Structure 1
Amino acid sequence: MQSKLSNKKLPLPHSLKFEAIGTRWRIETTQEVGVESATQVFETIRAFDMKWSRFRTNSLVTMRSKVAGSISLDADEEAMLLLYRRLYNISNGAMTPLIGRTLADLGYDASYSLQPQKSVHNAVAWDTTLELRLSSLEFIQPALLDIGAAGKGLLVDRIS
């Protein structure tokens, strides 16, 4: 007979906690995380957050919501955006990273107000807003991206 305790997941003895790209994170491990490793993890998170978080007023993504321009991409970021482009195409625009302003208008904004605006903007069209080039994402017009689950997955890959 199996013990009921064996089915429960016990917390691991070492963990790191932080907030990034609009959510709370917790990394648990059986091994102690040294200062150097923790510093590398947090620096990776900070750099990612400064580029992709729509919850930071000073991130590149937030800047591009105000002024057109470009964001340089590494190979993994380019792959993430190619995935989003494919999903956008096969869903006829229903699946889009260009949903950031809509989410903010609905109350999922930088301050987590949870207070919807009186007017909610629809997501803008990819072809009139973004151009994905080799190693860069060009914003033809300002737009607020939300890189969602694919972005969170990319961050997990970078810190693991």
Structure 2
Amino acid sequence: MTTAPAVWRFDAIGTRWEIQTAAALPDEARDAASAVIERFDREWSRFRPDSFVSTLAGGSGEVTVPAPADTAAMLDAYAELSEATGGAVSPLVGAALAHRGYDAAYSLVDRGPLAATGDWRQRLSWDAGTLTLREPGIIDVGALGKGRLVDLVTSCLHRSDDGGIVVDAGGDVSVRGVTERIGLEHPYDPSRAIGVWEVTDAALCASAVNRRAWGDGLHHVLDARTGQPVRTVAATWAVAPTAMRADAVATALFFAGGEALAARWGASWVRMATDGQVEWSPGCGAELFRAAR
């Protein structure tokens, strides 16, 4: 933005939000965005007892709830994400995360790995009106859910004639109507960046093992097939037309198959391994401060 933007900061869904606009948002716009966030959290959070996800998780057999508006968009994307990574990414990874200590109570008590059994698509089904879980499990949409919410908030607030908007939810950033230079935070030193990426009318999402980490090497990026945290990748960044797809690609890049999914979806990416090696996609527009080894 060429002039100093108005900035709205707040906390929601466990992360810090910062929304930049050319002029201060009126109260009704803030209320509308807050309502979008509240609705999404009430439907998809596994950390609140009144959510649809908690209702599904609380059953001992088959449980059905009204399908939230975002069901098909997110779970259809999960089907592609899961197929690309050979089942490493699953929306039913919530039970494995809870077993490792990242549960609704934030106990951070590790009870060991919990591997997924069978194809999650045989256990979880959805149509235009319902979302059904056929056996006990916990949905966790963390692989792309925050990106989806960033898209919804951006859509709620942005008009083509309002001078542009930047929505940043803890590193998932949507840019519309302006150009933004975004630093790529070093996963082992938050005071440093490994590069910058200039983003226009697109979204950049990041994921790193230093975020939501606890215990002895435990963090939020688990392989659903084994219940074990990823050990070889430290951080990923992806740029795509939507934040949901950028978020999904940033997750997929922790596993084999992520590069192919990014190419299919038209996303660019940067990835840093735990040994410090940096690699990037062909034609990537990021300006990196170090070369790959």
Q: Which residue number corresponds to residue 272 of structure 2?
A: none
CA offsets, 1:15-57, max 9 Å, x none?
Answer: 131221x433332334212211111111111010000011112
Unpaired segments of 5 or more residues in structure 2?
A: 155-293
* TM superposition shift of 1:132: 2.9
Q: 1:119 to 1:133 in 2, by over 3 A?
A: same
Among residues 17, 32, 52, which one is paired with 1:60 in the alignment? 52
Report the RMSD for the aligned CA atoms in angstroms: 2.2
Relative to 1, partners in 2 of residues 1:89 and 1:149: Cα closer, same or farther, differing over 3 Å?
Answer: closer
SS of 1:17's equivalent in the other structure is strand
Aligned to 2:105: 111
* Cα distance in 2, alignment partners of residues 105 and 58 from structure 1: 21
Structure 2: distance between partners of 1:107 and 1:26: 29
Aligned to 1:82: 76
Partner of 1:42, secondary structure, is helix
Counting matched residue pairs gives 147
Q: How far apart, CA to CA, are the structure 1 residues paired with 2:100 and 2:5?
A: 37
Inter-partner Cα distance in structure 2 for 1:124 and 1:50: 28
1:94 aligned to 2:98?
A: no
Correspondent of 2:17 among 18, 25, 29 = 25
Give 1:144's aligned amino acid: I
- Whether 1:15 aligns to 2:8 is yes
TM-score, length basis structure 1: 0.79
Higher helix share: 1
Say whether the 8 Å CA contact 1:13–1:29 is kept in structure 2: yes
> 1:130 matched to which residue of 2?
124
Identity of aligned residues (%): 35
Q: Matched residues in 2 for 1:108 and 1:26: separation?
A: 25
Quickly say closer, same or farther: Cα 1:31–1:107, change in 2 above 3 A: farther
Distance 1:105 1:55 in 2: 14
Shift of 1:124: 4.3
Any stretches of 5+ residues in structure 1 without a counterpart?
1-10
Residue 138 and residue 158 in structure 1: after superposition, are their counterparts in 2 closer, same or farther (change >3 A)? Answer: same
Q: Which has the higher strand share?
A: 2
How far residue 144 of structure 1 moved from its aligned partner, in angstroms, is 0.8
Distance 1:30 1:114 in 2: 41
